[in-house]
Chain A
Amino acid sequence: MIEIKNLHATVDGKEILKGIDLTINPGEVHAIMGPNGSGKSTLSYVLAGRDGYEITEGSVRFFGKDLLEMEPEERAAAGLFLAFQYPVEIPGVANTTFLKSALNAIRKQRGEPELDAMQFLKLVREKTKALNMTDEMLKRAVNVGFSGGEKKRNETLQMAVLQPKFAILDETDSGLDIDALKIVAEGVNALRSPERSMLVITHYQRLLDYIVPDHVHVLAFGKIQRSGGKELALELEKNGYAEFGVNEAA
């Protein structure tokens, strides 16, 4: 599904990613763990196509196509989704308007018929109910006045509506209490399927209690230092990142 080879990226001339290699097959859930400043968010932004990141070496193939050549909206239409660590607030744009525009933009790019207002409302009501979200949250402006938990639920709702093939969850656990974490994790787990893959980026093991990965990778100093199964997360929880030369005061 996605094949990252020797990916190097710089921000403001500083090299952050120093040769990432990662292949994710359909249905797999991979976790990337790492200390702060290791390049986790940079990787997610590079994959989603944010401006300001210069790719100096390497390649990313997404369903066989060159992902790095695509505009952010083309990546979304091709099935890539980034659940943001810090979802932005957009005053003046109602959440429903945004969701409908996004869904129909993606359907249009894929050559599928757009949904009318009634069809869309039916779909979105169904999804919000599952995520314990109120109609009122749909009427409000995108993320404006949302708590940390509501913002993450809103990200999960978008994922549920847009049905991506590959979802990157960038530190979805940050700023969430345990109840919100459970709701979001349940929402994410409901989306797991043999056709859909996920890349869960996290600092702590906690989230992985709820979203159990197939593979765990340790990212430090811009490179994947070690890969393993879900037990690697538990090991990191116990020992921290010290063995990778990172000194973190827990």
Chain B
Amino acid sequence: MATTTLTKAPRGYDPAAAKPFLEQLQRVKDGLPGATLSWLNDLRSQGHDRFAALGLPTVKNESWRYTNLRALDKLAFQPATDAGEAVRFDVLPTVRAEGTTGPRLVFVDGRFRAELSSTAGLPAGVELLNLADALARKPDLVAEHLGRIAAPDDQPLVALNTAFLADGPVLHVPRGVTVDETIELVFVSVGTEAQPTAFHPRGLIVAEADSRAVIVEHHVGLGSCTTLSNGVTEAFVGAGASVHHYKVQREHAEAFHLSHTAAKVAGKGVYDNFILTIGAKLSRNEVNSVLDGEEGDTHVSGAYMVRGGQHVDTTTFIDHAKPCCTSREVYKGVIDDQARAVFQGKIIVRPDAQKTDGYQQNRALLLSDTAEIDAKPELEIYADDVKCSHGATVGELDDDQLFYLRARGIDKDTARGLLIGAFLSEALEEIAEESVRDAFQSYVANWQNAR
């Protein structure tokens, strides 16, 4: 899709909301890395122009009907600065066994923290860098891929992220290389007391043909300052390569977490994404996966648990562009109190994509009368020889099961916890990596115990 300059934003966007963000950009833009790279400046300008034209999406936009970003407008977020030195960490989150270490990049309010990061244990040829370093050391690699999958055209938040493009993780796995160690990316939101803080981490994963990597993103919050993380990650999965990309978001109660992950999967490639959402006041995870070569496979799954006044939005888009590909989506959510969840799952099967096998399910458990879910599965099928199924259910805890457990001596809260864990386990089973699955399961258990 070609970029066009619009004088008037289409319905469903609020260009006025762009203004405070763009004013901030003026203040920081000279300090952004890679200012001498003309392609990068062009990319940023493109983001700037698109965001200036579109502004923030409003509820009049079909894709944002259930998630209202008006709060962002009012909060007057300021860009993060390098004030993170004062922040200390006793224990960074990890899925590794206790006492072991491995490759890890740490970002605090979107800024790389070298002293907390390590690239030990990576095979020769594998690059794990922050974007600023990658721009200095591997500019060609970055230029070849950055901004090629997550296009800012009709995605104002991708455009905003692109305008601010400054830092984030860059992983390059050369052809045929398997990275045995799980790569951990830790994003810590801290913010400042003085004002709401925004940052726009940009990640890039390039897995060349027949390579393999496992990546776990931890998004955690410290303190209670208002923060906005507007992240974008692009993943290139080469022919026959497999990328297992897991994420857990446990940010604090005043955090806004917006994230767009876009993957492009070549023939016989595997892109596997799982997102566990527990934290933040408002979060939206968009996951797009394009099956761009024959016999590609994508698993896009997740689980969320929200309570209080939390709002969580999962919006997925699976694009079957080529024949004989499979896609699988299993999302499960638990919603308590007045929390609200949104699930939008779109699958497109293009005319060429014969022999597509697509599966999507989304199930939610409402724990209170005031909890709410809006679910919108969408299938668009333009090929005739396809297998595509989807299901969505909303339910409550089963009284018979609850009584059965209690009749065996298990108290009501524990019984509820067991049933909630059981409900979510079906989604967590989608995580192929055992250490990741165990860690995520413990986050689920902690959520229940924190009640």
Contact = CB atoms under 8 A, between A and B. Distances in A.
Interface of A: 48-51, 71-73, 75-77, 81-82, 84, 87-88, 90-93, 97-98, 101-103, 105-106, 109, 141, 158, 162
A92 B411 CA distance: 18
B209 to A, nearest CB: 38
B405 interface: yes
Which has the most chain B C-beta neighbours within 10 Å: A76, A84, A109, A162?
A76
Contact of B401 (A48, A81, A88, A105): A88
Nearest to A86: B400
Contacts of B361: none
24 contacts: A49-B407, A51-B399, A51-B403, A72-B406, A76-B408, A77-B409, A84-B404, A90-B401, A90-B404, A90-B405, A90-B419, A91-B422, A92-B423, A92-B424, A92-B425, A92-B426, A93-B419, A93-B421, A98-B405, A101-B405, A102-B405, A102-B410, A103-B409, A162-B408
Given A72-B406, A73-B409, A76-B406, A105 B414 contact: yes
B412 interface: yes
B394 interface: no
Contacts of A73: 406-407, 409-412, 415
Nearest to A87: B404
A124 to B, nearest CB: 14
Contacts of B409: 73, 76-77, 102-103, 105-106, 109, 162
A88 B425 CA distance: 18
A77 B411 CA distance: 10
Interface of B: 398-401, 403-412, 414-415, 418-419, 421-426
Given A72-B403, A101-B414, A105-B414, A90 B408 contact: no
Contacts, number: 78
Contact of B422 (A49, A87, A90): A90
Nearest to B420: A92
A59 B401 CA distance: 27
B188 to A, nearest CB: 32
A104 to B, nearest CB: 9
Contacts of A105: 408-411, 414
B407 A98 contact: no
Given A98-B405, A109-B409, A162-B409, A88 B400 contact: yes
